[in-house]
Structure 1
Amino acid sequence: MAWKLMPLLLLLVWVATLCSARDRTDLLNVCMDAKHHKTKPGPEDELHGQCSPWRKSACCTVDTSQELHKDTSRLYNFNWEHCGTMEPACKRHFIQDNCLYECSPNLGPWIQQVDQSWRKERFLNVPLCKDDCQSWWQDCRTSYTCKSNWHEGWDWSSGVNKCPTGATCRTFESYFPTPAALCEELWSHSYKVSNYSRGSGRCIQMWFDSGQRNPNEEVAKFYAAAMSAGVTLHGMGGFLLSLALMLQLWLLD
């Protein structure tokens, strides 16, 4: 009789290992494994300009924050103004976008592994607050670009990104007819436009007042808890199904 219980004991050990394999705190207060990110977040009292809200806990350095405010940063040799002068209101959103990417320690629930020369991780489908996305699109609709996906397809022959052969400079609105098209397609679905608005605690704000508490901390905790609960329920569901099947086989033997 005892030998018949051995498979059940092994299954119990497997489930216990699965449920404790990853604690949800692994998703909180983390930095991506990427070219200019710190290995772990920490205070950076002198963060520059629009990166300053992250000064209490940042994945970027002061030098990185300064470079993010330049039209062509030496960080990536990427020129926002590849189709002429970008409207200042539009440029402000791109600086905020870059500051969030480089500085935020609150993107852990959406970090994915990638195999790229300049980074080993990226974030994917971050739930961006819908009003942040709408403002970004509204302020950029009359500026010009020549591509809808800025992650790839550029002419890098000069060392700086230029429009590829055959690409035409047109307004942002031509390439991105809706706010969601801009926010989701620009960086290969780094963002997914949320149905929630700023202050809801359910969407990531691209920027916040440096004198206030970081609202994205609450958002990261919410999604980390939801993801961990989903993994646990999935593991327990598999456990119960396997247990039922093994018991049935054992009783029939």
Structure 2
Amino acid sequence: FGLSVREMAARWAVLGLLAACMTSAAKKSVLNMCMDAKHHKTEPGPEGALHDQCVLWKDNACCTANTSMEAHQDQSYLYNFNWNHCGVMPDKCKQHFIQDTCLYECSPNLGPWIDQADTSWRRERILNVPLCKEDCELWWEDCKDAITCKENWHKGWNWTSGTNRCPRGSICQPFKYVFPRPADLCEKIWSNSYKYTTEHRGGGRCIQMWFDPANGNPNVAVAKYYAQNGRDASPAPRAVLLLLPAALLSLL
């Protein structure tokens, strides 16, 4: 290559500096980002008019006010999904699904768990987000007597009417039989979008669907912890690739 030892050392020093800068920038990116999905904003920012349960994210949100309104409808234009596919879902159960929707649509703190998605309606999804024990168990407790016909709500529905209906041969039965444990509900219902944990709210190691915004958003610290320690804490691949400079490649 015709390079002196000094020139080679200089190039490796620059390589190391660029790599360090890239890693730092990637971590900052995943701490405040929106996934590439159907209704998400390109970048997070203030949304002062977020509706009802989504108001927790008004200071920095990936959703618009209109999206937050639709998140509260029994069958909204967001995904034409009907909570009442096996009869009317009890309100105490429905509030958890609304909160789940608000977290998914509005939170800018899910970067460490953003993954690629090969679907017609989104290019990215969340995978294995560590959900706090209380959030998962209260969700199950309030929904155990609600009725459904499916374990995985992401796929397998009959959509011929334009909204989700139970597939032929399925049986409507209480959640507690479809999802015998809280972990079954939280992990299986959305294809492992969430992961059940024994971590508690306020401990900085699990994502909260529910929190008091007057005390700040606890998920900021949780995202920072996992971004720094790996995805079970690693930064999202997209964030790293977008930050990889051409100059770094030219040195390899």
TM-score relative to the length of structure 1: 0.84
- For structure 1, the 5+ residue unaligned runs are 232-253
Percent identity between the two aligned chains: 56
Alignment of 1:223 with 2:189, yes or no, is no
- For structure 2, the 5+ residue unaligned runs are 235-252
1:61 aligns with 64
Q: Which moved more, 1:13-22 or 1:88-97?
A: 13-22
Distance (whole Å) between structure 1 residues aligned to residue 46 and residue 9 of structure 2: 49
Distance (whole Å) between structure 2 residues aligned to residue 14 and residue 85 of structure 1: 60
Any residues of structure 2 matched to 1:1-253 within 5 Å, and which? Answer: 18-23=19-24, 24-227=27-230
Structure 1 counterpart SS, 2:117: strand
Q: Of the two, which has the highest radius of gyration?
A: 1
Q: Which amino acid aligns with 1:63?
A: N
Per-residue Cα deviation, 1:163-195 (whole angstroms, up to 9, x for no partner): 001110000011100000000000000000122
Q: CA deviation at 1:215?
A: 0.8
Q: Which amino acid aligns with 2:23?
A: R
Distance (whole Å) between structure 1 residues aligned to residue 49 and residue 4 of structure 2: 65
Structure 1 counterpart SS, 2:215: coil
Q: Which amino acid aligns with 1:131?
A: E
Aligned residues: 231
Q: CA deviation at 1:9?
A: 8.3
Distance (whole Å) between structure 2 residues aligned to residue 225 and residue 107 of structure 1: 14
Distance (whole Å) between structure 2 residues aligned to residue 7 and residue 153 of structure 1: 57
Pair 119,94 (structure 1): closer, same or farther in 2 beyond 3 Å: same
Distance (whole Å) between structure 2 residues aligned to residue 19 and residue 169 of structure 1: 54
Q: CA deviation at 1:7?
A: 8.8
Structure 2 counterpart SS, 1:109: helix
Q: Which amino acid aligns with 2:183?
A: A
Q: Which amino acid aligns with 2:99?
A: Q
Q: Which moved more, 1:53-62 or 1:8-17?
A: 8-17
1:243 aligns with none
Q: Which amino acid aligns with 1:70?
A: Q
Structure 2 counterpart SS, 1:73: coil
Q: Which moved more, 1:4-13 or 1:189-198?
A: 4-13
Distance (whole Å) between structure 2 residues aligned to residue 20 and residue 212 of structure 1: 32
Distance (whole Å) between structure 2 residues aligned to residue 155 and residue 47 of structure 1: 32
Distance (whole Å) between structure 1 residues aligned to residue 214 and residue 131 of structure 2: 21
Q: CA deviation at 1:212?
A: 2.5
Q: RMSD of the TM alignment (CA)?
A: 2.3
